[in-house]
Amino acid sequence: MLPFKLIYHELYDLNLGAHVFPSQKYRLVADKLVNDGIALLDNFLRPEPAADADILRVHTPEWVNKLKTGTLTQNDLMILEVPYSPELVSAFWLAAGGTILAAQAASLDGFGCNIGGGFHHAYPGHGEGFCAIHDVAVAIRKMQADGTIRTAMVVDTDVHHGNGTAAIFAHDPSVFTLSIHQLDLYPGHKPPSTVDLNMDDGVGDDEYMEALLPALREGLEKFQPDMLFYIGGADPYKEDQLGGLRLTINGLQTRDRSVFEEARWQGVPVVTTLAGGYARRVEDTVQIHVNTILAAAIAAGKYPHSRKLS
């Protein structure tokens, strides 16, 4: 049995139909974790949708109203890049509730993993790139409002720059943002994160880790966050349809484990979300996400107790 909780809801699926974003992956990941004997049903927690009050700590009333009433403009839909439906909105509210619940679990157990979330392109007043609600930002603001944490660090390993994250926390010294991403790729406008690691096309396992680990260690040591939020992208994979990096499945798991072990060695609780993944074979995306959970289990076994929130 895993030594931490997995957050999952069967309605995480964004109801996209035929779309490059395989939102059925959430169900496939949860099923594989159980079928492969990695997780027991007791490991799973079922989230409630985030309260509107929590969403509004990050997003504007106008944007929330558009989503809830289905009054998005054609321009809103064009940059969001997913078809609107009430099920889509429910899924985003659930994802935000799931990341809040994962953060609450991490404050107790050292780890909390949301099998969903990581919607890092969402801005306060609009959605972008398949992301309508920024669940990680919502969870950070909720945990800060509740007094559970004062500071947070976001480590974003999606192949695409975390532009929404950077914009939301641009003038907030309580949140450190690190994004490692392919430079010559969506989004066109990349607001500065606290640290941006811009990878050239074709970068593989070794060069990627040579950039990530020193920046991660320096950020952890200097900033000393109360909690780390990890946006675990499957899309730096060499067979991804929307990226141009060349990481292997083993390299991606090494990436995850290295981040988790660095954080846990310093006693920092870790909240994991599973972000982009568009492999030609959806089975590869699912395996990469499952490996993220396995990497968390390895790190939790090596560093089981949090020195931060205990």
- List, for residues 12-52, the tens digit of each pLDDT value: 998 788 899 999 999 999 999 999 999 999 999 999 999 99
What's the pLDDT score for residue 192? 98
Retrieve residue 226's tokens: 């109360």
Question: Using CA atoms, how far apart are residues 175 and 286, in angstroms rounded to an integer?
Answer: 30
* pLDDT at site 18: 86
For the chain, the first-to-last Cα distance in angstroms comes to 22
Q: Identify whether 284 is part of a domain.
A: yes
Whether residue 105 is contained in a domain is answered as yes
Task: Indicate whether 306 pLDDT > 80.
Answer: no
Percentage of residues of the chain with pLDDT beyond 70: 98
Q: What is the pLDDT of the chain when averaged over all its residues? A: 96
Cis? peptide before 187, omega within 30° of 0: yes
Residue range 220-224: mean pLDDT, rounded:
97
Domain of 108 in residue numbering reads as: 5-302
pLDDT band at 310 (very low <50, low <70, confident <90, very high): very low
- Looking at residues 65-74, what average pLDDT do you find? 98
Work out the burial of residue 172: count CB atoms within 10 Å of its CB; fewer than 13 is exposed, 13-18 middle, 19 or more buried: middle
CB 5 within 8 A of CB 68: no
Q: Give me the amino acid identity at 164.
A: G
Q: Is residue 259's pLDDT more than 60? A: yes
For residue 162, is pLDDT > 80?
yes
Q: Which among 247, 255, 243 is positioned nearest to 209, based on CA atoms? A: 255
Does some domain include residue 307?
no
Is 122 inside a domain boundary? yes
CATH assignment of the domain containing 123: 3.40.800.20
How many whole angstroms separate alpha carbon 251 and alpha carbon 296?
A: 15
Among 138, 212, 223, 125, smallest CA distance to 173 is for 223
Mean pLDDT across 247-264 = 98
Which among 113, 116, 153, 152 has a CA at the least distance from the CA of 133?
116
Q: How confident is the model at residue 308 (pLDDT cuts 50, 70, 90)?
A: low
Domain count, the chain: 1
Phi, then psi, of 138 in degrees rounded to 5 = -60, -45
